[in-house]
Amino acid sequence: MSIIVMKSRTIVIILILFSMCLVSYLHEANAYTSVVEVGSGPAVITCPGGGIHQGAIAFEARTTGSSLTGGWDLSTPSVISPGNVFKSGLINGGNISPSGRFTLTGTETSDDICGTKSVSSITINITGQCVQGNVFTTVKFKASNGEKANIPTSPTCQ
Residue 111 has φ and ψ, to the nearest 5°, of: -150, 105
Q: Give domain limits for the chain.
A: 1-30, 34-157
DSSP letter assigned to residue 47: P
Residue 100 has φ and ψ, to the nearest 5°, of: 95, 5
- pLDDT in the model for residue 18: 47
- With a cut of 70, say whether residue 121 has pLDDT above it: yes
- pLDDT in the model for residue 95: 94
Rounded Cα–Cα distance for residues 96 and 61 (Å) = 10
What are the residues whose beta carbons fall under 8 Å from the beta carbon of 139, sequence distance 6 or more? 37, 40, 57, 126, 127, 128, 150, 151, 153, 155
- As assigned by CATH, the class of the 34-157 domain is mainly beta
8-55 pLDDT, tens digit each? 565 545 545 444 443 444 444 458 999 999 888 888 889 888 889 888
